[in-house]
């Protein structure tokens, strides 16, 4: 069985107290690895290693040297592409094509995009008039924030972890990563890459474990962690924010969503169906940007429901490497039970189950996996649990609407504000709506299309701050003003 250790100061080390936990395959329910669970002393060692590295060789690197090293990291990930694909499939159970075409390439790209950003983004400068006429020059200098605690999620673990580690290292910080206990493999594998390309010891560290009373809490509570970046559910973000209040440390959060998809009668129907099916069912619905509320203009409502039903029923279950498989399991039994409980709530609240609603028939070898059917409902009120609360599963409720003003109100009637997707050929209308819907990102006639230079984040309970391009630099650096009297 695979033994997975913590990665501290450039070495793979077991927990000092010997504690371990099992990594279970989402596909088969079998134990596939034994993971070292970091205790408080292990986390302390990792944070101290990161703090020491800030004053060591890493601090002497010029911006260009950091840029070159991050390119080497990306190139080594690409060289070991199959290793990362295999590890991510083992962790998540999601199909090979998703790993090969989305999650692993983006993980490598995250290092290059932020290397390019830090190299090419200028700081501000101003000339100031002074009474003696000589003037003064003011200019900005960006300095690293320090030790960054990185708490990463399980739904796209490598992509979302490197989305934070890339800019943190580009800006000269050091990191301690706490991956989800469900998906530790690629974070630890990245340690091998860091050693291979010569990243100084202590710059990148990984501590495995859980949240409360485990590595997650120990990391966020540590006084020498200068800032915390987190992607995950809103409840966990609230707990982290309380911990970060001690020492008034910076936080960057990307949290839950209850995203709306809006489909007008004038849309390109086939493209809208393809887009909503992806946004509702990709990664078995375990996407923070996914669509769980769909609003369809009344003239095409029945046609749309029928077409999306066909898409939901066309999925192929199976092992990630099996030919033709396009749909994987949920991450854990706990999460499967949570999603199934919402399926039951929908029925209790009077939903019409268009399709799905339970556990599918799968081959005998997969019966202990965390399988669940893509599910579509209609007929629920706007205050029903499955319409109000984030489920994080392959499901959506579809409701008709009649006017632009009505659907804007429906889309904004949520505690969250992460994303929306609008399908229409009327671009002036799309622009009007994009300005009125309270979200961090609004797609028009597309979904999951990302320019990594642009701002990414949420409003309301979906997050704090923005990531991407120069916006990431605002979090990962301190901007110092220098005033020089001439």
Alpha carbon distance 257, 291 (integer Å): 9
Give the full edge-to-edge strand order of the sheet including 375-378. 352-355, 375-378, 395-401, 291-297, 259-263, 419-423, 441-444
Whether the CB-CB separation of 296 and 401 falls below 8 Å is answered with yes
For every residue of 126-143, DSSP letters joined together read EEE--TTS--EEEEEEEE
Q: Which is it for strands 259-263 and 147-151: parallel, antiparallel or unpaired?
A: unpaired
Quote the tokens at residue 293: 């509320």
Where does 56-156 have alpha helices with state H? Answer: 63-79, 81-92, 96-98, 104-120
Catalytic machinery residues: 254
Phi, psi of 14 (to 5 degrees): -75, 165
Name the phi and psi angles at 267, rounded to 5. -65, 165
Six token digits for residue 128: 């100031």
Which residues have C-beta within 8 Å of that of residue 50, sequence separation ≥ 6? 147, 174, 175, 176, 202, 203, 205
Helix (H) or strand (E) holding 181: none
């Amino acid at each position: 069985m695979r033994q997975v250790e913590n990665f501290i100061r450039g070495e793979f080390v077991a927990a000092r107290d010997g504690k371990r936990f099992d990594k279970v395959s989402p596909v088969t329910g079998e134990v596939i690895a034994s993971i070292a669970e970091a205790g408080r002393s292990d986390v302390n060692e990792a944070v101290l290693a990161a703090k020491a590295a800030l004053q060591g060789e890493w601090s002497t690197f010029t911006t260009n040297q950091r840029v070159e090293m991050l390119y080497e990291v990306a190139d080594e990930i690409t060289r070991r592409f199959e290793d990362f694909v295999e590890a991510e499939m083992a962790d998540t159970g999601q199909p090979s094509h998703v790993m090969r075409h989305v999650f692993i390439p983006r993980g490598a790209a995250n290092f290059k995009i932020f290397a390019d950003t830090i190299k090419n983004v200028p700081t501000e400068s101003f000339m100031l008039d002074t009474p003696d006429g000589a003037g003064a020059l003011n200019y900005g200098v960006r300095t690293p924030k320090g030790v960054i605690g990185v708490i990463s999620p399980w739904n796209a673990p490598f992509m979302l972890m490197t989305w934070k580690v890339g800019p943190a290292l580009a800006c000269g910080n050091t990191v301690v990563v706490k991956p989800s206990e469900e998906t530790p493999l690629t974070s630890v594998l990245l340690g091998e890459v860091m050693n291979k390309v010569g990243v100084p010891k202590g710059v990148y560290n990984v501590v495995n474990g859980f949240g409360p009373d485990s590595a997650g809490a120990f990391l966020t509570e540590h006084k020498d962690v200068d800032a915390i970046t987190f992607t995950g559910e809103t409840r966990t973000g609230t707990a982290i924010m309380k911990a970060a209040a001690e020492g008034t440390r910076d936080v960057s959060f990307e949290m839950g969503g209850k995203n709306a998809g809006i489909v007008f009668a004038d849309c390109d129907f086939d493209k809208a169906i393809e887009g909503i099916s992806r946004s509702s069912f990709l990664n078995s619905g375990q996407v923070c940007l996914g669509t769980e509320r769909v609003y369809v203009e009344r003239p095409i409502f029945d046609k749309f429901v029928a077409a999306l039903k066909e898409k939901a029923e066309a999925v192929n279950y199976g092992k990630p490497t099996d030919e033709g498989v396009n749909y994987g399991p949920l991450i854990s039994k706990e999460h499967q039970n949570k999603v199934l409980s919402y399926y039951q709530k929908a029925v209790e609240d009077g939903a019409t189950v268009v399709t799905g609603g339970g556990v599918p028939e799968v081959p005998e070898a997969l019966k202990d996996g965390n399988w669940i059917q893509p599910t579509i409902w209609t007929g629920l009120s706007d205050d029903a649990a499955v319409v109000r609360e984030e489920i994080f599963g392959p499901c959506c409720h579809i409701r008709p609407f009649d006017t632009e003003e009505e659907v804007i109100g429906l889309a904004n009637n949520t505690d969250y504000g992460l994303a929306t997707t609008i399908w229409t050929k009327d671009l002036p209308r799309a622009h009007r709506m994009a300005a009125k819907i309270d979200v961090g990102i609004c797609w028009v006639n597309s979904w999951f299309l990302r320019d990594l230079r642009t701002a990414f984040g949420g409003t309301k309970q979906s997050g704090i701050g923005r990531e991407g391009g120069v916006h990431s630099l605002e979090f990962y650096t301190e901007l110092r003003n220098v005033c020089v009297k001439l």
